[in-house]
Amino acid sequence: MYKFIMTLLLFSISGLSIAEVSQQGKSGKVEYSAWHNGEINKERDPLIVEYNQGIAKSWTDQSDKNLIPEVPKQANYFDYSNKKIYRQAIFMDGDAYYTQMDFNDLEGFKPEGSPVKILGYNCQKYTGSSFSNKIELWVTTETGLQGTPILSFPYPNGLVLKYVRNENYGWQATDIEFYKKKKAPKLMPTDLGKEIDQVNFGLRLANAFVKEVKVFENEQINWGDEINNPEGNVTDALYRFAGGTVIAKKVKLPEVPNGTTVFAEVVEKSNGDAYDRTGSAFIIPTGKEKSFLDGLKSGVDALPKYVSKENKTYQGVVSTDDYDPIIELMRFFTPFGVNHFNDKRDVGIAWADSVTYKEEVSHLLPVLQGECWLAVFIGNYDGGGHKVSLNLKYHLNEQESSEEPKGKHWVQSVFNTTNVMEMAGQEYGTMFKTDTLKVEFEVPEGVKNATFRYISTGHGGWGGGDEFVPKKNQLFLDGEPFFSYTPWRVDCGTYRAYNPASGNFWNGLSSSDLSRSGWCPGSVSHPYYTDIENLTPGKHTIEVYIPLGEREGNMFSAWNVSGVLIGEID
């Protein structure tokens, strides 16, 4: 009896009750399920928190998933003694990185209402906010465990059994397992890997799911240099054509799952050319007997001919049985002299160092895998020209490997009048003067969900030219109208900081500010998409009509139009 009273007295002096002492040294595991709009969602991967000797470890349980190797192995470690959180990730190459942060001690959170029971334990509700979101936490101190399902909200000396954000999303504990002493694991590894800051840690996690292909890096596109290309078709070698105004490369692109999001990114700056120029990043289809490569290597006369009603010849612009025209990833327009002319004209604007053009090209994923020829064109006759980089970024949208075969897709380039071999004699798109551009194409069996992708820009750079005059584009499928619009951009003033060499007028306007037919100096010209329902197998025709403006002396208008059909195929 004496020993019992003395023991009780010692516990009382230390400030701990017998109930609290009985919880010391406990270890265990808590499983959390997603919580959505008042209900537990068992469809999502559960979140696991383990606790032992002042350390909690949390991770998402994906043990039943067949994950792709790119998925990093992640875990969070909570050191409750030192109020530190460590985030660790081990990547596909075996490299481990971690970052650390301090507990925030739930600053600004206040208790609300009476305790409620979760899994049989009394939980006090705490309410606060984070980044304008309402946050609710239910915390118990009865388990002897410490932990939280949410990185940002640990609770010292307690276990968060439920977390809700904005009253509609969160996590709730659905099971607790207490370990026997012999089973209690050591949770934090001795070596967490290389320490980096939180920003770079987050970037590494995101970039684990990005496959980047650097096609061109700061390459010069100019006119007049002596050109010595490698013999044959050498992978990853740089080729220059059309006097140096087209650069091309045969590359090996990654094989990725259907549904991957792909971006094309071009970075451009002037290396001496002051003018706004047409630019194009494009794919060269090589699946037929002839390809645009024949023209690049041997001259425009090697390309199939399209003859208009006025008996004028255009090279390589339409699909035939043995040839497909180029497929544009992106049509862009250089500004007036960005970078090279920045210090040559001061009008009180902070000029940009370069221009980045970025566009999603996921619809072209079927032709952006495996072996592929990619190229970039900028029309100019300048010895310095431009410096250009082209990257492709594949953002994987699935973390699980799939046993199912990939769905098949059909991509058919129908026409492209952008004369990317302009400096080698390829004709401008002037066939609309007395004619429609008419192309015959064939649809194979099994095509469904077809979409037509169309890019159109008008050119003729004087007051009466089609660059500055809105013109309606009308398209016909098998003689019936199926799409029409007027490409006209009124936002060109947005890109003023890219245009140091732009001419400035007496009334405060600059040339780069003026509205144009589907483009602006320093911008991308966006494609338009229209669905084509019930596209039957067999031969079809597409026609394009644009009311081309009249010539004025040696000045003339032209239109760069490209059309690609994209669909699924059984």
The tens digit of pLDDT for each residue in 34-87 reads 998 888 888 899 999 999 999 999 999 999 999 999 999 999 999 999 999 999
Q: What percent of the chain has pLDDT over 70?
A: 95
Q: Taking 50 as the threshold, does the pLDDT of residue 568 lie above it? A: yes
Q: DSSP for 240-263?
A: EEGGGTEEEEEEEEPP--TT-EEE
The average confidence (pLDDT) of the chain is 92
pLDDT reported for residue 372: 96
Helices (H), 370-431: none
pLDDT reported for residue 23: 46
Q: Taking 50 as the threshold, does the pLDDT of residue 11 lie above it? A: no
| Residue 522 backbone class (left: φ over 0; alpha: ψ -120 to 50; beta: rest) | left
pLDDT reported for residue 435: 84
- In this structure, what are the phi and psi dihedrals at residue 92, rounded to the nearest 5 degrees? -55, -35
- For residue 488, give every residue at least 6 positions away whose Cβ sits within 8 Å of its Cβ, in sequence order, or none: 470, 515, 516, 517, 518
The tens digit of pLDDT for each residue in 464-484 reads 999 999 999 999 999 999 999
Which one-letter DSSP state was computed for residue 287? S
- Could you tell me the two tokens for 254? 């990654």
For residue 100, give the H/E element and its range: strand 96-102
The tens digit of pLDDT for each residue in 485-534 reads 999 999 999 999 999 999 999 898 999 999 999 999 999 999 999 999 88
Q: What is the largest CA-CA distance in the chain?
A: 118
Residue range 542-558: average pLDDT?
95
pLDDT reported for residue 155: 84
pLDDT reported for residue 416: 98
Q: Which residues, listed in sequence order, are joined to residue 249 by a DSSP beta bridge?
A: 374
pLDDT reported for residue 7: 38
Q: Could you tell me how far CA 34 lies from the centroid of its own chain?
A: 28
pTM, full prediction: 0.88
Beta-strand relationship, 558-569 and 447-459: antiparallel
Residue range 537-566: average pLDDT?
96
- Do the Cβ atoms of 252 and 370 come closer than 8 Å? yes
Q: Which residues, listed in sequence order, are joined to residue 453 by a DSSP beta bridge?
A: 529, 564
Lowest-confidence region among 13-22, 166-175, 313-322, 371-380: 13-22
pLDDT reported for residue 380: 97
Amino acid at 302: A
Alpha carbon separation from 201 to 72, 157, 395 (Å, rounded):
12, 28, 18
Can you tell me the distance from the alpha carbon of 102 to that of 349, in angstroms, rounded to the nearest whole number?
Answer: 43
- For residue 173, give every residue at least 6 positions away whose Cβ sits within 8 Å of its Cβ, in sequence order, or none: 30, 31, 32, 118, 119, 149, 161, 162
For residue 4, give the 3-state DSSP assignment. Answer: helix
pLDDT reported for residue 25: 66
Q: DSSP for 335-355?
A: -SSTTTTTTT--SS----S-E
Q: Taking 90 as the threshold, does the pLDDT of residue 263 lie above it? A: yes
Residue range 201-214: average pLDDT?
96
Report the b/e string of 229-250 with b at 16+ CB within 10 A: eeeeeeeeeebbbbbbbbbbbb
pLDDT reported for residue 18: 33
- Compute the CA torsion angle 198, 202, 208, 212 (nearest 10 deg): -100
- Do the Cβ atoms of 124 and 115 come closer than 8 Å? yes
Q: DSSP for 476-542?
A: EETTEEEEEE---B--GGGGGGG-TT--B-TTS-BGGGS-BSS--TTEEE--EEEEETT--SEEEEE
The tens digit of pLDDT for each residue in 329-365 reads 999 999 999 999 999 999 999 999 999 999 999 999 9
For residue 158, give the 3-state DSSP assignment. Answer: coil
Q: DSSP for 196-220?
A: --HHHHHHHHHHTTEEEEEEEEEEE
Q: What percent of the chain has pLDDT over 90?
A: 84
Can you tell me the distance from the alpha carbon of 321 to that of 301, in angstroms, rounded to the nearest whole number?
Answer: 18
The tens digit of pLDDT for each residue in 378-436 reads 999 999 999 999 999 999 998 988 777 677 899 999 999 999 999 999 999 999 988 88
- Do the Cβ atoms of 336 and 499 come closer than 8 Å? yes
Q: Where are the beta strands (DSSP E) in 379-460?
A: 386-395, 408-416, 437-443, 447-459
Place of tokens 């002051």: 274
Q: How many CB atoms lie within 10 A of CB 87?
A: 20
pLDDT reported for residue 186: 87
* C-alpha gyration radius of the chain: 32
Of residues 447, 445, 256, the one with CA closest to residue 361:
256
For residue 410, give the 3-state DSSP assignment. Answer: strand
Can you tell me the distance from the alpha carbon of 208 to that of 282, in angstroms, rounded to the nearest whole number?
Answer: 27
Q: Taking 50 as the threshold, does the pLDDT of residue 230 lie above it? A: yes
Can you tell me the distance from the alpha carbon of 146 to that of 55, in angstroms, rounded to the nearest whole number?
Answer: 8
Can you tell me the distance from the alpha carbon of 57 to that of 470, in angstroms, rounded to the nearest whole number?
Answer: 63
Q: Where are the beta strands (DSSP E) in 346-407?
A: 355-360, 370-378, 386-395
